[in-house]
Amino acid sequence: MCLGIPGKVIELRDDGAVLMGKVDFGGIRKEACLAYTPEVQLGDYVIVHVGFAISKVDEEEALKTLDVLAQMGDVVSQELETMGPGMAEPAVLNDDGTPASGALTGGAEAGA
Amino acid sequence: MKYLDEYRDPELAKSLLAEIHRITTRPWTLMEVCGGQTHTIVKQGLDEALPEGVRMIHGPGCPVCVTPLEQIDKALAIAARPNVIFTSYGDMLRVPGTDTDLLALKARGADVRIVYNPLDALKIAKDNPDKEVVFFAVGFETTAPANAMAIAQAKAQGIDNYSVVVSHVLVPPAMTSLLDSPTNQVQSFLAAGHVCAVMGWTEYEPIAEKYRVPIVVTGFEPLDLLEGMLMAIRQLEEGRHEVENQYARAVKREGVPLAQKQIFDVFEIGDRTWRGVGEIPQSGYHLRPEYAAYDAETKFEVGDIHTLEHPACIAGQILTGEKLPLDCTAYGTLCSPQHPLGAPMVSAEGTCAAFHSANRGLDARRVTV
């Protein structure tokens, strides 16, 4: 029920009662109520939950998070080489670094 | 899909896990509040990849699971009435009541319909003026803005044949209830990202301060969860107890004020019983008196409900994280997603269903039973 998915606003429509629109989720287009995010423009991304946009995705913050993770990756790869015994390879990954069976292929399907 | 795929990168996940291993010096117990997060953690095996001694306890954030049996039995009694079209989010349909569930009622001829958006239920009411359309308004703070909007619109548009069975629950009181328990083991929370998207995180600041627990507002993708865990463990290791926001692309400190305004125009906070947990003070939304005409419980006078849980089900202890599905004798034997005894096996957000779909412990059960 708490499925919240990011999608791109491709249509805005004020039908008199509430602000509605169409949101594209990777090719699947759905009606959504945009009344709580009236600032959205065409092309913005929103997180849609039970047919309502509950948040506008902040592109700058999204990129910042990925940047921080990527930078940490560089530091960590140096660290990894110095790791001693007992620091087991994470079980979620195979020896060659690829995801183990079922790992990191799906992601959240729901969320409160 | 944009804003999803980049947060599933296996290489970055590996880096995050390595960093968690690097900074962890002691055993810690964390709880992810939301069932959607539980699902990703279990499906991806993130909990099994953590350093030895770092434990994830799966929290009560499954709205379907905590909807009290009495509300489900009331919904079933209303749905069984001849002139009623009963509408609900899809995942409530198979939740067992005392004697039956909504899907079984539907099979026996009741008019039960799944809606994705509560405004669709309102449209059904508009299109069927000679019927009573009832919507099962369940959920956490995430669904409240949608459910509140449908009720406000019913009033604004004069749609009198629309009413709701309300069973709304709130995250912060559930967290303090867990922390107040003498058996509490939780040392830090990953707060539910979408609840915080709506409500912001100011409510969590006094909790972090009073109980000295780090709280990290966390998203739902594997990298979000790993980063949330890393931030929580870093705070624990450094002796800090703050509210931090991992899910900055979707959550602002103040939340979405327009959504909050709509919620509090329609609902007020009151006590609420959580299935398997019991009553938690000030932990739910109820209709405000000016919306009493939209309360299906009074409209249909469903009194005299006698509830009875299945004796084998330990849903309450699962919801509070005291026990795991593998501790339950019915898990994978008497109880499965096809024949659920309790709600945590029904919902995609339920811990039992998450374990079952990840096939955890099922082979052993099949051998021994």
Q: What is the pLDDT of residue A84?
A: 39
Q: What is the pLDDT of residue A73?
A: 63
Q: What is the pLDDT of residue A87?
A: 35
B163–chain A Cβ distance below 8 A for any pair: no
Kindly identify which residue of chain B lies nearest to residue A110, measuring between CA atoms.
Answer: B36
- CB-closest option in B14, B19, B118 to A50: B118
DSSP per-residue string spanning B167-189: EEE-HHHHHHHHHHSTT----EE
B25–chain A Cβ distance below 8 A for any pair: no
In this predicted structure, the answer to whether residue A88 has a pLDDT above a threshold of 50 is no
- Residues B342 and B7: their CA atoms lie apart, in Å, by 33
- Reported in sequence order, the residue ranges of chain B that DSSP labels E, i.e. its strands, are 28-34, 54-61, 84-88, 111-114, 132-139, 162-169, 188-192, 215-218, 243-245, 267-274, 278-287
Q: Which residues of A touch B139 (CB under 8 A)?
A: 1-2, 50
Pick the range with the lowest mean pLDDT from A92-96, B162-166, B278-282, B287-291: A92-96
B94-111 confidence digits (pLDDT tens)? 899 999 999 999 999 999
B360–chain A Cβ distance below 8 A for any pair: no
Q: Nearest to residue A46, comparing CAs of A57, A35, A60?
A: A57
Q: What is the mean pLDDT of residues B174-192?
A: 95
- Residues B128 and B29: their CA atoms lie apart, in Å, by 52
Is B134 in contact with B87 (CB distance < 8 Å)?
yes
Mean pLDDT, chain B, integer? 93
Q: Do B45 and A57 touch (CB under 8 A)?
A: no
When the candidates are 3.40.1160.10, 3.40.50.11740, 3.40.50.2000, 3.50.50.60, the CATH number that belongs to B1-311 is 3.40.50.11740
- CB-closest option in A1, A2, A99 to B10: A99
B87–chain A Cβ distance below 8 A for any pair: no
- % chain B with pLDDT above 90: 79
In this predicted structure, the answer to whether residue A104 has a pLDDT above a threshold of 70 is no
- Residues 6 or more apart in contact with residue B193 via CB below 8 angstroms: A4, A111, B34, B37, B217, B218, B219, B220, B224, B246, B247, B250, B251
- Residues B5 and B3: their CA atoms lie apart, in Å, by 6
In this predicted structure, the answer to whether residue A102 has a pLDDT above a threshold of 70 is no
Q: Which residues of B touch A96 (CB under 8 A)?
A: none
Residue with tokens 């669904």: B143
Q: What is the pLDDT of residue A92?
A: 47
Report the CATH number at residue A31.
2.30.30.140
DSSP letter (8 states) at residue B212: T
Q: To the nearest whole angstrom, how far is the Cα of A5 from the nearest Cα of chain B?
A: 8
Please give the tally of structural domains in chain A: 1
Q: Do A58 and B250 touch (CB under 8 A)?
A: yes
Kindly identify which residue of chain A lies nearest to residue B251, measuring between CA atoms.
Answer: A55
Confidence of residue B190 (pLDDT cuts 50, 70, 90): very high
Q: What is the mean pLDDT of residues B333-345?
A: 89
Q: What is the pLDDT of residue B11?
A: 87
- Residues B31 and B9: their CA atoms lie apart, in Å, by 24
Q: What is the pLDDT of residue B58?
A: 92
Angle at A39 between CA A18 and CA B193, to 5 degrees: 90
A37-83 confidence digits (pLDDT tens)? 999 999 999 999 999 999 999 988 888 877 777 776 665 555 444 44
Q: What is the mean pLDDT of residues B198-215?
A: 98
Confidence of residue A109 (pLDDT cuts 50, 70, 90): very low
Q: Which residues of A touch B94 (CB under 8 A)?
A: none
In this predicted structure, the answer to whether residue B314 has a pLDDT above a threshold of 70 is yes
A6 assigned to some structural domain: yes
Q: To the nearest whole angstrom, how far is the Cα of A42 from the nearest Cα of chain B?
A: 16
Helix (H) or strand (E) holding A4: strand A4-14
Q: Are strands B162-169 and B54-61 parallel, antiparallel or unpaired?
A: unpaired
Q: Do A100 and B45 touch (CB under 8 A)?
A: yes
- Residues A43 and A57: their CA atoms lie apart, in Å, by 11
CB atoms within 10 A of CB B62: 36
Q: Which residues of B touch A92 (CB under 8 A)?
A: 13, 17, 44-46, 48-49
Mean pLDDT, chain A, integer? 73
The residues that bridge with B247 in the sheet, in sequence order, are none
Q: Compute CA distances A72 → B18, B54, B220, whole Å.
A: 10, 21, 20
Q: What is the mean pLDDT of residues B130-135?
A: 98
Distance of CA B34 to the CA centre of its chain: 6
B232-249 confidence digits (pLDDT tens)? 999 999 999 999 999 999
Q: Do A103 and B10 touch (CB under 8 A)?
A: yes
Question: When comparing pLDDT for A59 and B149, which is higher?
Answer: B149
ipTM (interface pTM): 0.91
Q: Do A102 and B17 touch (CB under 8 A)?
A: no
A90 assigned to some structural domain: no
Q: For chains A and B, what is the number of CB pairs under 8 angstroms?
A: 241
- CB-closest option in B16, B49, B156 to A91: B49
Q: Choose from B122, B142, B246 for mutation: most chain A CBs within 10 A.
A: B142
Q: Compute CA distances A79 → A66, A76, A85, whole Å.
A: 20, 5, 13
Q: Which residues of A touch B249 (CB under 8 A)?
A: 57-59, 61-62, 65
- Residues A108 and A92: their CA atoms lie apart, in Å, by 16
In this predicted structure, the answer to whether residue B254 has a pLDDT above a threshold of 90 is yes
Q: Compute CA distances B266 → B33, B74, B151, B259, B330, whole Å.
A: 26, 21, 7, 11, 41
Kindly identify which residue of chain A lies nearest to residue B9, measuring between CA atoms.
Answer: A104
Supply the range of the domain harboring residue A63. 1-81
B250–chain A Cβ distance below 8 A for any pair: yes
Q: What is the pLDDT of residue A14?
A: 85
Dig out the tokens for A52 from the structure: 């309502």
Q: Do A55 and B142 touch (CB under 8 A)?
A: no
Q: Which residues of B touch A109 (CB under 8 A)?
A: 36, 39-40, 348
CA dihedral B339, B91, A108, A61 (to 10 degrees): -160
| Domain range annotation of chain B | 1-311, 315-368
B23-44 confidence digits (pLDDT tens)? 999 999 999 999 999 999 999 9
B197–chain A Cβ distance below 8 A for any pair: yes
- Residues B369 and B95: their CA atoms lie apart, in Å, by 25
The pTM (predicted TM-score) of the whole model is: 0.88
Q: What is the pLDDT of residue A111?
A: 36
b vs e for B197-223, b when ≥16 Cβ sit within 10 Å of the residue's Cβ? Answer: bbbbbebbeebbeebebbbbbbbbbbb
Confidence of residue B338 (pLDDT cuts 50, 70, 90): confident
In this predicted structure, the answer to whether residue B114 has a pLDDT above a threshold of 60 is yes
A94 assigned to some structural domain: no
A13 assigned to some structural domain: yes
